[in-house]
């Protein structure tokens, strides 16, 4: 599904050149749950942004569903992103002046679905994530765990093929963090591909495969015990 071949990423600022990624070779199959680990600044988020078509590589080849996407236009990236990817961020990224219902509905608005269809889908997701009683709350009226649950609900409503999660439990306590990991596992078991950046080895071991980055390179790749469920 996702194939990266010799991917490199360089950021340039006047006379300064920063190499974020070097010679990344990585394949992610449909239905996998992959964790990406490594110290801060090692290139984890840069890699996630390239996979999710938020950014383009400086060098190398990116194949998505066997089609070359390394050098497509911004419009092309946007169109593919809508169909294939949803994002969950550490900082939740909810819109403060929209209610829970409105935040969850937003991806369907962007897809220009009609209101009756949007409403039905939102009701189903609110029920699924036990958020119906919070549907008219605003983000600042929710706990951190509840906000992240809304972010997960917003990510799944458009039925993406891949969820990219960047430190999705980083701002949560252990109990709420476990709730989010459980939701990601359920989504993966239902067929959604998950790629998660995390600093937590315990959480990474719940995935099928762990990719370790250091200074922009893949240094190790290991399979966890959870691979038995794959």
pLDDT in tens, 123-136: 999 999 999 999 99
Query: Does any domain span residue 10?
Result: yes
Distance CA 93, CA 147 (A): 9
The CATH number that applies at residue 40 is 3.40.50.300
Q: Is the pLDDT confidence value at 226 over 80?
A: no
Bridge partners for 219 per DSSP: none
CB atoms within 10 A of CB 165: 26
Would you state the pLDDT for residue 227?
47
**Count of domains in the chain?**
1
Query: Does any domain span residue 155?
Result: yes
What's the whole-number mean pLDDT along residues 159-168? 95
What's the whole-number mean pLDDT along residues 11-33? 93
Q: Is the pLDDT confidence value at 224 over 60?
A: yes
Residue 112 — pLDDT band, cuts 50, 70, 90? confident
Q: Is the pLDDT confidence value at 6 over 90?
A: yes
Would you state the pLDDT for residue 228?
45
Query: Does any domain span residue 30?
Result: yes
User: Looking at the whole model, is its pTM more than 0.95?
Assistant: no
Residue 229 — pLDDT band, cuts 50, 70, 90? very low
* CA triple 11-78-69, angle to 5 deg: 65
Residues of the domain holding 17: 2-93+144-229
Query: Does any domain span residue 98?
Result: no
The whole-chain average pLDDT of the chain stands at: 93
Query: Does any domain span residue 58?
Result: yes
In tens, the pLDDT along 174-184 reads: 999 999 999 99
**DSSP codes of every residue in the chain:** -EEEEEEEEEEEETTEEEEEEEEEEEEE-TT-EEEEE--TTSSHHHHHHHHTTSS--SEEEEEETTEE-TT--HHHHHHHHHHHEEEEETT----TTS-HHHHHHHHHHHTT--HHHHHHHHHHHHHHTT-GGGTT--GGGS-HHHHHHHHHHHHHTT--SEEEEESTTTTS-HHHHHHHHHHHHHHHHTT-EEEEE-S-HHHHTTSSEEEEEETTEEEEEEE-GGGGG-
In tens, the pLDDT along 39-94 reads: 999 999 999 999 999 999 999 999 999 999 988 998 999 999 988 999 999 889 99
Query: Does any domain span residue 75?
Result: yes
Identify the burial level of 192 via C-beta atoms within 10 angstroms of its C-beta, where 0-12 means exposed, 13-18 middle and 19 or more buried.
buried
Query: Does any domain span residue 134?
Result: no
Query: Does any domain span residue 123?
Result: no
Would you state the pLDDT for residue 70?
87
Residue 225 — pLDDT band, cuts 50, 70, 90? low
């Amino acid at each position: 599904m996702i194939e990266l071949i010799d991917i490199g990423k360089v950021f340039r600022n006047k006379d300064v050149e920063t190499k974020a990624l070097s010679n990344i070779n990585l394949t992610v199959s449909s239905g996998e749950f992959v964790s990406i680990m490594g110290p801060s600044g090692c290139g984890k988020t840069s890699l996630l942004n390239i996979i999710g078509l938020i950014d383009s590589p400086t060098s190398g080849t990116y194949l998505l569903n066997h089609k070359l996407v390394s050098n497509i236009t911004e419009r092309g990236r946007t169109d593919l992103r809508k169909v294939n990817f949803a994002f969950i961020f550490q900082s939740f990224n909810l819109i403060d002046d929209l209610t829970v219902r409105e935040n969850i509905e937003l991806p369907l608005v962007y897809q220009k679905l009609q209101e009756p269809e949007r409403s039905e889908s939102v009701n189903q997701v609110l029920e699924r994530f036990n958020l119906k009683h919070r549907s008219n709350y605003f983000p600042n009226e929710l706990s951190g765990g509840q906000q992240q649950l809304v972010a997960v609900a917003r990510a799944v409503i458009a039925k993406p093929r891949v969820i990219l999660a960047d430190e999705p439990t980083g701002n949560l306590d252990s109990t709420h963090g476990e709730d989010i990991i459980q939701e990601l596992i359920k989504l993966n078991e239902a067929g959604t591909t998950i790629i998660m950046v995390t600093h937590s080895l315990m959480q990474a071991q719940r995935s099928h495969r762990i990719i370790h980055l250091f200074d922009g390179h893949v240094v190790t790749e290991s399979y966890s015990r959870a691979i038995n469920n794959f």
